[in-house]
Amino acid sequence: MRSLVAPIVWLLLILSPLSAHATEPITIGLSLGLSGRYAEMSRMQEKSFKLWEREINSRGGILGRKVKILIYDNKSDPQTVQSQYEHLMTGDKVDLLFGPYSSELNEVVVPLTEKYGYPIVASGSSLDRLWQKGYKYLFGLHALSSRYTVGFLEMLVQYDVGDIAIAYANDAFSQSTADGARQWAERLGLKILMFSSFKRDTKDLVEIARKARESHAHAMMVCGSFEEAVAMRLALKKTNWRPKAYYASIGPALQAFYGKLGADADYTFSSSLWERYGKLPGSETFYKEFLKAYGEEPSYHAADAYAAGQILERAAKKAGSLDREKIRTILSVMQTTTIIGRYGVDKTGKQIKHFPLIIQWQKGKKEIVWPKELSTAKPIFR
Amino acid sequence: MAEGTQHGKTDFQIMIKYPAIMNRLPFRIIAPAILLMLLAGSGLYMFFHYVASDFVTRIIKNNLDERAADIYTIADKNLDELIQGGLSGDEKAVRIKKALTLSLVEDAMRENDLKGAVVEDGKTTLVVDELSPEILKAKPGGVKDNVASLVRYQGNGYYLYVLEFEPWKWRISLIKSEAEYSALISKVRLAYALAGIVLLLASFLFIYYLEWTIQAPLAGIISLLKRGEKPGYRGIHEFELLSDNIGAILQSLQHETEKLNSIYFIARSKRGKDFFDEVAVAIARMFDLNTFIAKVNPGGETLHVISQYANGELTGNIERPLDGTPCSDVMTNRQLVVIESGVCRNFPSPLLEAPDPAESYVCVPIFDRKGDIIGMVNVFGKQRTFTDADIKVLQTIGQMAAAEFEMLEKTVFLDSILHASTDTAIVAADLDYRVTFYNPAAEKIFGLKAEDVIGKKLAELKPMETANPGRFQRGIENVKSRGHHQFSYKTKQEGEFRHIDARIYGIPDEQHKPAGFVLMARDISDYKRLEEQLLHSQKLEAVGLLAGGVAHEFNNILMGIMGYASLLKNKIGHDDPSQTYIDNILTSSKRAANLTQGLLAFSRKQNINPRPVNINEIVRRVEELLIRVIGEEIELRTLLAAADLTVRADSGQIEQVLMNLATNARDAMPHGGILTIETGAVTLSEEYPKGHLRSGREQYALISLSDTGVGMDEKTRERIFEPFFTSKEVGKGTGLGLSIVFGIIKQHNGNITVYSEPGKGTTFKIYLPLHDGPQTEEPQPALLRPPVRGTETLLLAEDNAQVRNLVKALLQDAGYTVITADSEDALRVFEENRERVRMLILDVVMPKKSGKEVYNDIRKIRPDIKALFMSGYTADVVRQRGTLEEEIDFISKPISPDVLLRKVREILDR
């Protein structure tokens, strides 16, 4: 009998790399702008991904394998993000990838992931044109930028707010959002009295604000970054113009917005892709876990990252392997619900099931004001 | 036989012509197969194309229909929500709903790769893809609602679908690019191409299959047949069968052909009896039996065995009865008889017992073209069976024998025709001028015997050549270039010159190439002679016409001379010494008048008075006179026909003929001799040149006068009837004697011929048409009374002033009163003197108005008026022209005064 044992052990030893491979953690790579322009949102996402990693590993990982997330800091630089993703795919040879934050960075990364055949659930971009280029491995997670303002504009109609002035930064995402706003305003029969762009990262938007005021608009909309949302609020104050409604596409959804502006943040409208009051399954748990883990409230960016993890997990499970082609196919047809809402893409990979919420700061509190059915407060127009 | 076999080898190489491509197997089988496949292929292709393109279109349209339905549903659903929410009256809510719906519509369009636009109440509220407005403009107003239609824009196809959402007055245009189906279209095209390739491959395989299964075996069989070999194909059962059968047929054909070849060889080289002998021997050897070939005799009761070969012995020319032999069955049933055993028991005939009784027997009838049995081919002998091939060979021999029979018959027929020609010489020669045929008439004409001529060259035939050196040869040369040649020549045969007319024709062979020549010659001496005679008499007639004309004019002149001389003679006294001169004038005038009478007689313009008379009578009457004319040294012999020879003639004229001929005979016999006058009746045959005789009758009286005088040569003989031609010394004859004879005989519708040779005497033969009616009494010549005078008034109409004055003078001299007129005013003059005029004297021929016309006009006034006609022509001529009736009185010029006065008195006294 003993003579038989040795060969079996030997055989097991030979086969050990296979079994070793089976127990190796699944590596999922990504690069985030942990510093620079997109740092605020990126850090939210980093925390969320880590949270998801912990949670999934606590549940036994994916397909019986632990998950290891590999995150690089790209300093919000397009060139860096490009080389980092290339390295992740060719050097690190990660099993799967998450996308970077911001449409700008996604635009430079996606051609590479397409090249190497890595499916990406776009947790950091909702730029319309990304889904007009025929990419096969890119799947949208939330509503497109052109749809961000729809709820706000609808309310302008409902509450007879009046004419609009739109200012937007000259980055792709902001432009797309502004174009969407204009299109929807027209559809809803709203008059646009000003439609002006400004250079991105402009600190002082007083001039624009003055121009908007002179247009006699009743509502001021700005499509830009967190910083620009803040800058425009300050510019309005400086120009002593108090439009009936002030809307900023990005920024106000973050607690930091209030942190920076204090009471001036009140009455500001914005779009949010997720809010803890959204009453969606797992949403509250996520909020609590995040708060518990990081001592701060998660923004929708954080929720996006978590949702991306949820989707990837479900796709891999459905595929029964890490075969990226199989996962890609499943992602293109799968319908599911995450903490941010429904997931479902059209054949271009564009998200068509998710819609954004409209929030308003009211007395230091972020309230959902649209859609009505999910609202936590009524909107206030001054 | 040996030659036949030798020929057999080559004969069996089946002559296969290279047929036109259309008649070749590949064309007939493979070409239709290809065509069929091409047709089926193109049909299939068309079907695919149609179905596939239709399929693509349908898919696109269906797709568009579905999308349109979806989009409508979106709008519809949103409207429903609005209504169900009780917000349809809320303008803001409607605005918002519409915007949302538009967004949903846009999403739906984009998701489905649709371009398009939404127009609300004329205002465009949505444009998906910037090309959409342009594409929509490409078909302005042409797009029907709810129906997909294709438009072209910048070379690309787009399907357009317009739906209307009426509640919101939305016109939603959906555009689907055809290019999005390019993958599908490419797949369909690929399917076409594959189908085409498969079809092509199938075609090639099928053709190869046909080639392998049909063409190749057949080509193998054919190539062996071409080489004359027996095909031994092994493989496909049907072709094996075909190949074996062809082989068997070839072999049997070879056997038969060998047999027939030997017979054909005989047919080619032998003729007549030799042919039948050789054929008999060949058949006997072929079948190892006895044989005979027979001809059925007319009546069909007996056989004439031409050739029989039995027991190695060749016999022939045997007559055999048909009755009781199997041959009689052949005659009755008109079918061949085949008996394979026991023939002699059923038909015990000596014909079939040579030397042992025959067991088997075959008789094949020989038919002519009309289908009558003319002969039989028979084989008989030991017991044996006969195959179809054997019978066929015998039948073929039967046909060859029939041809030989026919040819023999034709040859005999043609030979007898050629030999039957007694007056036309027929000589045939080959291209080397060697004589191949020579008929008996040729022997007569050329004076050479056939056996001396046949096979010799024309140039070697001396008697023919000496007469015509090189003439035949030259003629043949002409024939070569012109097809025929004609010539005539004179030759002397047995001391006599003969005229020969010869014609040479080319003889063509079957291909119309020259094969030889045929010479046809006739002796035309008799014809020549008659022709000369005709020419001669025509010449005399012309001379006569001339002489007559001259004599007529001359008469008018003489009449003047004689008339005035007579008047003068009466005027002067009897004793006037000038009487002698006047008498001389009158004598000379009379001689001149005689001369003109002679000329007129020759020219047949003399006044004759023909009556039925007996020639023998006339001869007897002048016999005495003739004796005096010929003198004592010449003996006259008359040999008169026993029967009367009645002819219609003027006896005086005939007498003159006899007198003139006797005178001529006398002059030919200066030292005496015999003159024989002979009469008789002759019947002239058809051949006698009728041109010489005007009567058209066949019965003639013949008077021949023969002397034993000096005779004359041909030249003299030809001219003796010409006026003023004489062989006598100058002054001895007038040269008119024989001319008058000629004229008189001709005037009597007769003919005169002369036969004479120098030293052998002369014979004249006179032919006069025999008269059917009785002979009449010769009128007694009236007694010549002296001229009578008168006192009556006469009207004289004569255009010739000279004659008019003379006649007037003569009549006035005799006491008559004469009123003269010309033809035109005769009637008027008569009317003026109608009471006085007792008689008319009219010239017959007047230039302005004829005497007859004048007479007729006057008779209308006085029907009983008496008249006398005068003319320079004889009464015969005048009457022949129809100018005068028989009973009218007539005198011809020159008018002697006595005759005129007597005639006038006679008429007046009547």
**B335-356 burial, b for 16+ CB within 10 Å, e for fewer?**
ebbbbeeebbeebebebbebee
pLDDT, position B18? 58
Beta carbons of A352 and B96 less than 8 Å apart: no
ipTM of the complex: 0.79
Residue B194 predicted with pLDDT over 80? yes
Contact residues, chain B, for A347 at CB < 8 Å: 111
The letter for the amino acid at B450 is A
Q: For chain B, give the percent of residues with pLDDT over 70.
A: 88
Nearest CA in chain B to A158: B92
Contact residues, chain A, for B93 at CB < 8 Å: 158
Beta carbons of A188 and B110 less than 8 Å apart: no
Q: Distance (Å) from the C-alpha of residue A353 to the closest C-alpha of chain B? A: 11
Residue B9 predicted with pLDDT over 50? no
Q: Distance (Å) from the C-alpha of residue A347 to the closest C-alpha of chain B? A: 7
Q: Distance (Å) from the C-alpha of residue A145 to the closest C-alpha of chain B? A: 14
Beta carbons of A347 and B107 less than 8 Å apart: no
- Cβ–Cβ < 8 Å for B342, B380: no
Beta carbons of A187 and B103 less than 8 Å apart: yes
- Cβ–Cβ < 8 Å for B498, B492: yes
Residue B536 predicted with pLDDT over 80? no
Helix axes A172-187, A103-116, angle to 10 degrees: 110
How many CB pairs lie under 8 A apart between chains A and B? Answer: 37
Contact residues, chain A, for B95 at CB < 8 Å: 157, 188-189
Nearest to B111 among A186, A189, A347 (CB): A347
- Residue B160 CB partners (closer than 8 Å, separation 6+): B135, B136, B139, B143, B148, B149, B150, B151, B173, B174, B175
Beta carbons of A187 and B92 less than 8 Å apart: no
Please state, in angstroms and rounded to a whole number, the distance separating the CA atoms of residues B677 and B701.
Answer: 13
Paired strand residues for B365 = B376
pLDDT category of residue B605 using cuts at 50, 70 and 90: low
Nearest to B111 among A186, A187, A352 (CB): A352
Mutate to test the interface with A, among B90, B103, B105, B128 (most CBs of A within 10 A): B103
Contact residues, chain B, for A160 at CB < 8 Å: 92
Residue B561 predicted with pLDDT over 90? no
Do β-strands B866-871 and B889-892 pair in parallel, antiparallel, or remain unpaired? Answer: parallel
HSE-up of residue B805 (Cα within 13 Å, Cβ side)? 6
Order of all β-strands in the sheet with B514-523: B435-438, B424-430, B514-523, B496-508, B484-493
Contact residues, chain B, for A140 at CB < 8 Å: none
Nearest to A187 among B107, B111, B125 (CB): B125
The letter for the amino acid at A229 is A
Nearest to A188 among B99, B107, B111 (CB): B99
Please state, in angstroms and rounded to a whole number, the distance separating the CA atoms of residues A168 and A205.
Answer: 11
Beta carbons of A187 and B107 less than 8 Å apart: no
Scan residues 92-111 of B and list those with Cβ closer than 8 Å to A. 92-93, 95-96, 98-100, 102-103, 107, 110-111
Mutate to test the interface with B, among A187, A352, A372, A373 (most CBs of B within 10 A): A187
Scan residues 112-171 of B and list those with Cβ closer than 8 Å to A. 125-126
What are the tens digits of pLDDT across the range B364-391?
Answer: 999 888 888 889 999 988 888 888 878 8
Nearest to B95 among A147, A189, A352 (CB): A189
Nearest CA in chain A to B104: A352
Beta carbons of B92 and A150 less than 8 Å apart: no
Please give the full DSSP string across B259-284, using - where no structure is assigned: HHHHHHHHHHH--HHHHHHHHHHHHH
Nearest CA in chain A to B129: A132
- Residue B230 CB partners (closer than 8 Å, separation 6+): B224, B246, B247, B250, B251
pLDDT, position B469? 60
- Residue B202 CB partners (closer than 8 Å, separation 6+): B37
The letter for the amino acid at B724 is F
Virtual torsion, Cα B859, B861, B863, B869, nearest 10 deg: -30
Nearest CA in chain B to A345: B111
Nearest to B107 among A157, A187, A352 (CB): A352
Average pLDDT over residues B451-466: 72
What are the tens digits of pLDDT across the range A103-143?
Answer: 889 999 999 999 999 999 999 998 888 998 989 999 999 88
pLDDT, position A20? 44
Q: Distance (Å) from the C-alpha of residue B98 to the closest C-alpha of chain A? A: 8
Contact residues, chain B, for A346 at CB < 8 Å: 107, 110-111
- Residue B872 CB partners (closer than 8 Å, separation 6+): B552, B553, B555, B556, B845, B892, B893
Q: Which of A85, A78, A101 is nearest to A28 (CA)?
A: A85
Beta carbons of B95 and A352 less than 8 Å apart: no
pLDDT category of residue B778 using cuts at 50, 70 and 90: low
pLDDT, position B732? 56
Strands (E), chain A: 26-32, 67-73, 96-97, 120-122, 138-140, 164-169, 192-198, 219-223, 245-248, 268-272, 336-338, 341-343, 357-362, 365-370
Q: What share of chain A is helix, strand, coil (3-state, %, to 5)?
A: 50, 20, 35
Q: Which of A207, A259, A208 is nearest to A230 (CA)?
A: A259
Please state, in angstroms and rounded to a whole number, the distance separating the CA atoms of residues A169 and B787.
Answer: 184
Please state, in angstroms and rounded to a whole number, the distance separating the CA atoms of residues A249 and A224.
Answer: 6
Q: pLDDT averaged over consecutive 10-residue blocks of chain A (382 residues)?
A: 51 47 84 90 94 94 94 95 96 95 93 96 91 93 90 92 94 92 91 94 92 95 92 94 94 90 94 82 92 92 94 94 95 93 90 91 93 90 90
Contact residues, chain A, for B98 at CB < 8 Å: 187
pLDDT, position A17? 45
Please state, in angstroms and rounded to a whole number, the distance separating the CA atoms of residues A133 and A202.
Answer: 30
Nearest CA in chain A to B99: A187
Residue B79 predicted with pLDDT over 60? yes
Contact residues, chain A, for B96 at CB < 8 Å: 154, 157-158, 188
pTM above 0.80? no
- Cβ–Cβ < 8 Å for A252, A301: no
Distance (Å) of CA B890 to CA A201, B55, B819, B908 = 174, 132, 20, 14
Residues in A lying within 8 Å of B, measured between beta carbons: 147, 150, 154, 157-158, 160, 184, 186-189, 346-348, 350, 352
What are the tens digits of pLDDT across the range B238-284?
Answer: 888 888 888 888 887 787 778 778 878 887 888 888 889 988 888 88
What are the tens digits of pLDDT across the range B660-719?
Answer: 898 888 888 888 899 999 999 888 765 454 444 544 557 889 999 999 988 888 888 878
Average pLDDT over residues B813-828: 87
The dihedrals phi and psi of A101, each to the nearest 5 degrees, come to -90, 145
The letter for the amino acid at A139 is F
Lowest mean per-residue pLDDT among B159-163, B269-273, B723-727, B852-856 = B723-727
How many other C-beta atoms are found inside a 10 Å radius of the C-beta of residue B866?
A: 17
Nearest to A188 among B96, B110, B126 (CB): B96
How high is the mean pLDDT of chain B? 81
Residue B466 predicted with pLDDT over 90? no
pLDDT category of residue B19 using cuts at 50, 70 and 90: low
Q: Distance (Å) from the C-alpha of residue A259 to the closest C-alpha of chain B? A: 34
Q: Distance (Å) from the C-alpha of residue B57 to the closest C-alpha of chain A? A: 23
Please state, in angstroms and rounded to a whole number, the distance separating the CA atoms of residues A382 and A375.
Answer: 19
Contact residues, chain A, for B107 at CB < 8 Å: 346, 352
Residue B139 predicted with pLDDT over 50? yes
pLDDT, position A111? 95
